[in-house]
């Protein structure tokens, strides 16, 4: 496989020039270990099939380097901010701002959310204009993440998460894959398969650059350029009977992906073995694989009849990548595993700390609240909304109700407790999607649109499409190991930057919980999750 996304030279102060390998050798991001430098600056990146892109990058590549670690490692990332100074901003915290500052989120990882770990409240600022003129060094920021020894092995990713700048930075390509190696990698059939990162970046480009996020539609209106490992429609070689492991990553800010692999001979065999970094109990055959923004899926793919196949996403023009099945067949065909080391044990309603106390989140948009250039109010309502500025007034016009407030804790979550949440969207248009993402702890989705999943599925990001009615999910979650403040939010990142986010605080047991829980009907009929084999979830 071709190594790629490396710095090949310098072109003036503060600017790097990078190239990305493509063609018959399927491109793979550069691979770094637990101690690495992430250099963030504007770079001119050659994107095969598109041209040169000038954008903010990690180490002058799209995507950034893949970080490979194991449970028990300490991830030490030195991040250099080589970006120019931020322009002044006086538009409030729920407006785009400070696109040249950033921080780091290790998306899906069960690691500390505070200190210098997975702390999205940190701010990595660039040099001021005066400091640059005086020749001061570019600032460096250290992220230190202690990965628990028993952390689930699987596919995660990293990206900046500074409120007000996240969407702009992600649609410029600031994202990379984070792999935790472990027990599933030692399964003989998986160890024999080629291990390939398939990172889908969604770039929003106008004349080769990311436009400024100056109006509510300025980013969304720009056509998406979807790359795989930094190239348009790269070619992957697969022999008949060969099994490969694809680590699919939806590093997208606006676009959900409904994926299929088809060719003239028919579909390729896809077997999902993990969702959002958590390994299934056994492979699951898939015709279609749905990934909301931020989701990951590990799949085993076996070459069938020789021919040309394409990985396509519904609603996206052109293939994401092409698969050429050719060459000498693998005879006998490579085997698939019958069973896998399940990544996390299930919860069920018997585990609930308080079976009558549920949390509810409703994604809701009120149009035309603020006037141009950002007229819409992107709210998270339900049982714990941010209080209104005028509780007795028209809440649909309120400037604070349900919008992110960095000083208001929406959810106080006690370690060791198990709770049930219901999350839904009241959007009436199916194309609108509000993926729900809770930091630090995976959630176990037990119901989708009122239908029980048997067995359930662990996720860290859950797609919620609009409709009549819009999607809803119910999940169980256990708050484990780590205290500190972090967030839950919509992972359509433009919405997050505009206020569709809530502050959560993990506290020691007995330190107090919010009293504003709502009572809801207890779901009856406990499942036999611990006794069944994995079946495809019904969505």
What's the CATH code of the domain at 477? 2.60.40.420
Q: What is the pLDDT of residues 132-168, one digit of tens each?
A: 999 999 999 999 999 999 999 999 999 999 999 999 9
* Contact of 209 with 54, CB cutoff 8 Å: yes
Q: Is residue 538 a part of any domain in this protein?
A: no
Over 254-295, what HEC string results?
CCCEEEEEEECCEECEEEEEEECCEEEEEEEEECCEEECCCC
Q: From 181, 199, 229, give the residue that closes a domain.
A: 181
Q: How far apart are the C-alpha atoms of 434 and 253, rounded to whole Å? A: 11
Grade residue 511 by pLDDT with cuts at 50, 70 and 90: low
User: For residue 103, is it within any domain?
Assistant: yes
**Per-position b or e across 32-69, b if 16+ CB within 10 A of its CB:** bebebebbbbbbbbbbbebeebbbbbbbbbbbbbbbbb
What pLDDT is stored for residue 304 in this prediction? 95
pLDDT tens readout for residues 295-354: 999 999 999 999 999 999 999 999 999 999 999 999 999 999 999 999 999 999 999 999
Q: pLDDT for 15-58, tens place per residue?
A: 443 333 333 489 999 999 999 999 999 999 999 999 999 999 99
Distance (Å, whole) CA 495 – CA 477: 24
pLDDT of residue 517: 35
**Is residue 311 in a domain?**
no
pTM of the model: 0.92
Q: Is the Cα dihedral 361, 175, 285, 441 positive or negative?
A: negative
How would you classify the pairing of strands 66-70 and 176-181? parallel
Residue 355 lies in a domain: yes
The region, left, alpha or beta by phi > 0 then psi within -120 to 50, assigned to residue 5 is: left
Is 99 domain-assigned? yes
Per-residue pLDDT, 21? 34
pLDDT at 191 over 50: yes
- The answer to whether residue 401 scores a pLDDT higher than 70 is yes
CA nearest neighbour of 444 among 489, 490, 477: 477
**pLDDT tens sequence across 287-300:** 999 999 999 999 99
Residue 2 pLDDT class (50, 70, 90 cuts): very low
Split at pLDDT 50, 70, 90, the class of 90 is confident
pLDDT digits (tens, 9 = 90+) for 405-423: 999 999 999 999 999 999 9
Task: Provide the domain limits for residue 37.
Answer: 31-181
Decide if 341 is inside a domain.
Answer: no
In angstroms, the first-to-last Cα distance of the chain is 34
Domain boundary among 181, 211, 238: 181
Tell me: pLDDT of 515 over 80. no
pLDDT per residue over 449-494, tens digit each? Answer: 999 999 999 999 999 999 999 999 999 999 999 999 999 999 999 9
Of the three residues 181, 210, 239, the one that is the final residue of a domain is 181
Domain-located, residue 88: yes
Identify whether 356 is part of a domain.
Answer: yes
Q: For residue 232, what pLDDT band results from cuts at 50, 70 and 90?
A: very high
Question: Which pLDDT does position 510 carry in this prediction?
Answer: 76
Secondary structure (H, E, C), 354-397 = CCCEEEEEEEEEECCCCCCCCCCEEEEEECCCCCCCCCCCCHHH
DSSP conformational letter for 529:
G
Q: Total domain count for the chain? A: 2
């Amino acid at each position: 496989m071709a190594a790629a996304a490396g710095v090949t030279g310098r072109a003036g102060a503060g600017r790097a020039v990078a190239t990305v390998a493509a063609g018959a050798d399927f491109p793979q991001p550069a691979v770094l270990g637990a101690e690495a430098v992430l250099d963030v600056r504007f770079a001119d990146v050659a994107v095969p099939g598109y041209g040169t892109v000038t954008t903010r990058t990690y180490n002058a590549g799209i995507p950034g380097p893949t970080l490979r670690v194991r449970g028990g490692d300490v991830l030490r990332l030195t991040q250099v901010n080589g970006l120019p100074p931020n322009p002044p901003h006086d538009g409030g915290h729920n407006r785009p701002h400070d696109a040249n500052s950033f921080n780091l989120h290790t998306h899906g990882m069960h690691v500390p959310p505070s200190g210098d770990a997975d702390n999205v409240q940190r701010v990595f600022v660039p040099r001021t204009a005066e400091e640059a003129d005086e020749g001061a060094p570019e600032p460096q920021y250290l992220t230190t993440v202690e990965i628990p020894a028993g952390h689930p092995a699987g596919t995660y990713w990293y990206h900046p998460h500074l409120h007000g700048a996240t969407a702009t930075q992600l649609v410029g390509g600031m994202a990379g894959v984070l792999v935790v190696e472990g027990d599933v990698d030692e399964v003989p059939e998986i160890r024999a398969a080629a291990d390939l990162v398939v990172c889908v970046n969604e770039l929003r480009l106008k004349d080769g650059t990311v436009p400024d996020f100056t109006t509510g539609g300025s980013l969304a209106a720009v056509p998406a350029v979807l790359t795989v490992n930094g190239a348009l429609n790269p070619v992957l070689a697969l022999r008949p009977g060969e099994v490969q492991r694809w680590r699919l990553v939806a590093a997208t800010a606006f676009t959900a992906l409904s994926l299929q692999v088809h060719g003239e001979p028919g579909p390729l065999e896809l077997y999902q073995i993990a969702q959002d970094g958590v390994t299934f109990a056994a492979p699951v055959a898939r015709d279609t694989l749905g990934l909301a923004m931020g989701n990951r899926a590990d799949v085993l793919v076996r070459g069938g009849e020789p021919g040309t196949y394409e990985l396509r996403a519904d609603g996206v023009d052109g293939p994401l990548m092409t698969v050429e099945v050719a060459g000498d067949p693998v005879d006998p065909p490579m085997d698939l595993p019958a069973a896998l080391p399940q990544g996390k044990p299930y919860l069920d309603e018997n585990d609930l700390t308080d079976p009558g106390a549920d949390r509810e989140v409703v994604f809701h948009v009120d149009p035309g609240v603020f006037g141009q250039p950002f007229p819409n109010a992107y709210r998270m309502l339900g049982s714990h909304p941010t209080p209104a500025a005028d509780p007795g007034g028209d809440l649909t016009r309120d400037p604070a109700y349900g919008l992110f407030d960095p000083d208001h804790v929406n959810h106080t979550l006690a370690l060791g407790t198990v709770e049930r949440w219901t999350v839904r969207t009241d959007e009436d248009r199916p194309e609108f999607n509000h993926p729900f993402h809770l930091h630090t702890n995976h959630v176990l989705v037990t119901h989708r649109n009122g239908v029980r999943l048997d067995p359930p599925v662990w996720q860290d990001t859950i797609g919620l499409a609009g409709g009549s009615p819009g999607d809803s999910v119910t999940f169980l979650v256990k708050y484990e190991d780590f205290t500190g403040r972090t967030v839950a939010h919509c992972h359509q990142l433009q919405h997050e930057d505009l206020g569709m986010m809530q502050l959560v605080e993990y506290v020691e047991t007995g330190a107090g919980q919010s009293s504003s829980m709502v009572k809801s009907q207890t779901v009856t009929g406990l499942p036999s999750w611990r006794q069944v084999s994995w079946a495809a979830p019904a969505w």
